[in-house]
Structure 1
Amino acid sequence: MEENKESYKQIFKSTSIVGGAQIINIIIGIIRNKIIAILLGPAGVGVAGIFQTIVELVRNGTGLGINFSGVKNVAENNTDSQRVARTILVLRRWEFGTGLVGMLVVIVLCNFFSNYSFGNDGYTYSIAFMSVTLLISAVSAGQLAILQGLRRIKEMAKATLLGSILGTLISLPIFWWFGIAGIVPSMILTALGSLTVSWYYARKVITEKVQLSLSETFSEGLGMAKLGFFIVVNGFVATISLYVIRVLIRTHLGMDSVGYFQAVWIISTMYINILLNSMLADYFPRLSAIKDNKEASNKLINQQLEMTLLVGTPMLMGMIAFATLAINILYTNSFHSAVSVLKWQMMASFFTFISYTVGVLYLSLNKGWYAIIIETLRQIIYISFVFFGWEYFGFNVLGIGFLIANFVCLVFGVYSAKQLNSFKFSIINVKYILILGSFVGLTLFCSLYLEGFIQYILNGVLLILASAFCLYNLNKMLDIKNWFKARYK
């Protein structure tokens, strides 16, 4: 029992460190997105969203997932100083090389991206200039991967937080002066700011001096690339799906509606990433270290899932209940068309919590094909539902389709984990999924089908009950009450 408490405390500690930084990032993001929405309007937010999608699309296609697989390699070799030094050097060189390839790909295809994304070649040169962000971001991601692999979670969290602050301070004056024309300069300077901060913390990592030829760098990096291949394909499938969705929205409703969708996507991913990034920072290295022990790995997955559900569910319910307020605070009232889509997407995120926690298993076991199949299935369902359901559901199809796709893939993902690692949910997690899932579902129902004061009263009651349930169970796991007594006696 004591061993279990220590494991829960380790999970909570890493979650709170990275999550705390993520929360501050959100506050910064609220300020940044609000000002950008005012300065650029829905069309400008849509243009920025398409630019960002192009960057992510090429990064996922050329980055080979080196930053993610590098975390695993650094973590596995952490006890061997010579080996970890070689791994870090290989990681840095491959990140630079893949970033350079990504930059060249964007330059070559800039005219294609402009015509397909915007229907004309007016953004060709902007996209070409934007390409340099791929090189800068790749190097920065490599620095953060080193910190994460060495489980220097505090330094990683600080680097991420300060990079966000610096990026905001750089970008807002540019948008003020140049409007939409400032999107690309802002992206470049923001990437440079993040690189500067990540380099500052990563340079404190002292390793042994090692000599590696280019051929040795290439051969040793292939191991990272093989695992990274699955991550690349996975991310590429997700990103190209978003790209297609944005083009479909522009075709049906115009660039303003792309901006509405972009707003929803930023809000949903911003808040969900508090938990997912916090979880992944320590969870993935720990799971990789015990991957050959099925009983231990399945136990850790269930412990992580308990923490994720208890911490994350009240957050989802709050976002569903107060989606209109969130849109007003984060953007402007001209984005109100996105409110119902945001509610559906936050409900879908409950299933994401579960599937993401279980899905890390595939990568820790080097069984990335499972992740690729599940992600491909998710995006095929999503795009198909949007394409064929637009006539019946209108703009809301974007949220409803996302919910259906996530649920189907959750079922498939849990089944795959059972076949692969004999995984099954613990009894306590079955209880949490049923109880907390019901809370989230009822909140969605009240938000969509009730109006006025009664909606907020019922949702408020549901949120209080769910929060009390989660806090009570977190206290049993972590002994929060006695911790506070000892600390503030």
Structure 2
Amino acid sequence: MTGHKARNSTSAIVIKAMGLFGSMQALTILCGIVRVKCVALLLGTTGVGLFGIFNSAQLLLATTQLNLRYSAVRDIAQASSSGTLNDAIHTVRRWGWLLGSAGVIITLLSAPLFSLYTFGDLSSTPQFMLLAIAILLMAANSGEQAIMQGTNRLKPLALSSAWGVVAGLAAAIPLIYFLRMRSIVPVVISYAVTQYIAILCLRQTPTRPTPALSLRQLWVKGGPILRLGIYMTIAAILKEVMNYVFIAYLNCTGGTEEVGLYQSGYTVVVRYMGVIFSAVTMEFYTRLASSNPHPHRQIVALRHELLLLTGIITPLLVIFIPFSPLAIRLLYSS
């Protein structure tokens, strides 16, 4: 009976987290739609294309963060239960700024190459160099988000993301209106700035003053985080490479129309359904990481999560399959 109550309690926590982060992701998607609509209306197809170019460059340069946003959650969660949370938090924050600084250097050095490869000349080098501001703040922000998730402060984490996205949109609209084509890079930077300000206002992570860590201590304490981050980064890159290889193969053997159908189906099935998995993971990852020294607790957590996800996804699939033609027409076209 006690175990049944515990499962119900855990399920309630997971469903609450899923609702919280599902709503946050829905808000993020909505703000993204509004932002793209503003760019399309005020700047036209050229503006949409430029925005896509600089945003893609930013995401590519963000790989210098070595996936700190998720790799550090494990160590923070384990430190929460072992009494070493203070040192772990300071380590993650220091590594956030160090990786961000490395990203700044790489961005500044590679800006001429991005400009030359993208536009055929060096005229856009200053715009690509300005992306270094966003890269630095994104790295620092990733460390703070990992700390909040690892300490199970999920509500402030969701609120900071929501406020950051809304504030970023509020800053983007006047920038686009007044600066027109010159607004593309400032808009990209504004989202990183508002996100970092929002998380600074809501982090409130209690830490005691700690002695400054030497570079050797920082390397020893951050080594496991960096190794996991490298593996995660390689896995993400391989995924994108394989996706590109498959799309290129499909385009050669089938055609552009087949690629369009594949991309549409992929978006509906994987990305939209992925919102559910992403929302559930926010709570589950922390709980699984904190039970790392206890294999039995890990098995119980895995079984519970699989049963819960099956109970959530199965009804959605039962509804989606018969209504998929309607969903396709609403999201795309007949």
TM, length-normalised to structure 2: 0.82
Is 2:153 aligned against 1:148?
Answer: no
Instruction: Please list the CA deviations of residues 344-372 of structure 1 after superposition, one character each: whole Å capped at 9, or x if unmatched.
Output: xxxxxxxxxxxxxxxxxxxxxxxxxxxxx
Is 2:309 aligned against 1:305?
Answer: yes
Instruction: Please list the CA deviations of residues 90-122 of structure 1 after superposition, one character each: whole Å capped at 9, or x if unmatched.
Output: 000101111111121121111222232344444
Q: Choose the corresponding residue for 1:23, options 26, 39, 46.
A: 26
Distance 1:240 1:53 in 2: 15
Q: Choose the corresponding residue for 1:321, options 303, 313, 326.
A: 326
Q: Which runs of 5+ in 2 are unaligned?
A: 250-261
Aligned partner of residue 131 in structure 1, secondary structure:
helix
Instruction: Please list the CA deviations of residues 220-274 of structure 1 after superposition, one character each: whole Å capped at 9, or x if unmatched.
Output: 11111011111121233345678899999xxxxxxxxxxxx99999998874553
Is 2:25 aligned against 1:36?
Answer: no
Q: Which residue of 1 aligns with 2:255?
A: none
Call closer, same or farther: CA 1:135–1:266 in 2, change over 3 Å: farther
Call closer, same or farther: CA 1:303–1:210 in 2, change over 3 Å: farther
Quote how far apart the aligned CAs of 1:167 are: 0.3
Distance 1:234 1:143 in 2: 23
Quote how far apart the aligned CAs of 1:310 are: 4.6
- RMSD value over aligned CA atoms? 3.3
Is 2:282 aligned against 1:278?
Answer: no
Call closer, same or farther: CA 1:51–1:86 in 2, change over 3 Å: same
Call closer, same or farther: CA 1:35–1:317 in 2, change over 3 Å: farther
Q: Which residue of 1 aligns with 2:117?
A: 116
Q: Choose the corresponding residue for 1:52, options 42, 51, 55.
A: 55
Call closer, same or farther: CA 1:96–1:311 in 2, change over 3 Å: farther
Structural mapping, 1:301-450, within 5 Å: 301-310=305-314, 313=317, 321-323=326-328, 325-326=330-331, 339=332
* Residues 163, 194 of structure 1: 8 Å contact kept: yes
Distance 2:42 2:267 in 1: 17
Call closer, same or farther: CA 1:49–1:111 in 2, change over 3 Å: same
* Residues 8, 303 of structure 1: 8 Å contact kept: no
Quote how far apart the aligned CAs of 1:215 are: 2.4
Call closer, same or farther: CA 1:138–1:242 in 2, change over 3 Å: farther
Call closer, same or farther: CA 1:268–1:59 in 2, change over 3 Å: farther
Quote how far apart the aligned CAs of 1:279 are: 1.6
* Residues 45, 262 of structure 1: 8 Å contact kept: no
Call closer, same or farther: CA 1:96–1:267 in 2, change over 3 Å: farther
Instruction: Please list the CA deviations of residues 109-164 of structure 1 after superposition, one character each: whole Å capped at 9, or x if unmatched.
Output: 11222232344444322111112210011111111111111111110010000000
Q: Which residue of 2 aligns with 1:66?
A: 68
* Residues 145, 157 of structure 2: 8 Å contact kept: yes
One-letter amino acid of the structure 2 residue matched with residue 63 of structure 1: Q
Q: Choose the corresponding residue for 1:75, options 74, 77, 84.
A: 77
* Residues 57, 240 of structure 1: 8 Å contact kept: no
Call closer, same or farther: CA 1:207–1:90 in 2, change over 3 Å: same
Structural mapping, 1:181-200, within 5 Å: 181-200=182-201
Call closer, same or farther: CA 1:30–1:101 in 2, change over 3 Å: same
Structural mapping, 1:152-171, within 5 Å: 152-171=153-172
* Residues 12, 307 of structure 1: 8 Å contact kept: no
Distance 1:155 1:284 in 2: 17
Call closer, same or farther: CA 1:164–1:263 in 2, change over 3 Å: farther
Higher relative contact order (CA 8 A, sep 6+): 2
One-letter amino acid of the structure 1 residue matched with residue 30 of structure 2: I
Distance 1:47 1:318 in 2: 36
* Residues 167, 189 of structure 1: 8 Å contact kept: yes
Q: Which residue of 1 aligns with 2:176?
A: 175
Distance 2:247 2:105 in 1: 24
Instruction: Please list the CA deviations of residues 421-445 of structure 1 after superposition, one character each: whole Å capped at 9, or x if unmatched.
Output: xxxxxxxxxxxxxxxxxxxxxxxxx
Q: Which residue of 1 aligns with 2:97?
A: 96
Call closer, same or farther: CA 1:80–1:290 in 2, change over 3 Å: closer
Distance 1:246 1:134 in 2: 29
Instruction: Please list the CA deviations of residues 49-106 of structure 1 after superposition, one character each: whole Å capped at 9, or x if unmatched.
Output: 222222222212x21222212111111111244x111000000010111111112112
Instruction: Please list the CA deviations of residues 372-422 of structure 1 after superposition, one character each: whole Å capped at 9, or x if unmatched.
Output: xxxxxxxxxxxxxxxxxxxxxxxxxxxxxxxxxxxxxxxxxxxxxxxxxxx
Call closer, same or farther: CA 1:58–1:245 in 2, change over 3 Å: farther
One-letter amino acid of the structure 2 residue matched with residue 183 of structure 1: I
Distance 2:167 2:323 in 1: 29
Call closer, same or farther: CA 1:271–1:299 in 2, change over 3 Å: same
Distance 2:25 2:72 in 1: 22
* Residues 78, 290 of structure 2: 8 Å contact kept: yes
Quote how far apart the aligned CAs of 1:308 are: 5.0
* Residues 42, 177 of structure 2: 8 Å contact kept: yes
Call closer, same or farther: CA 1:31–1:192 in 2, change over 3 Å: same
Distance 2:233 2:99 in 1: 12
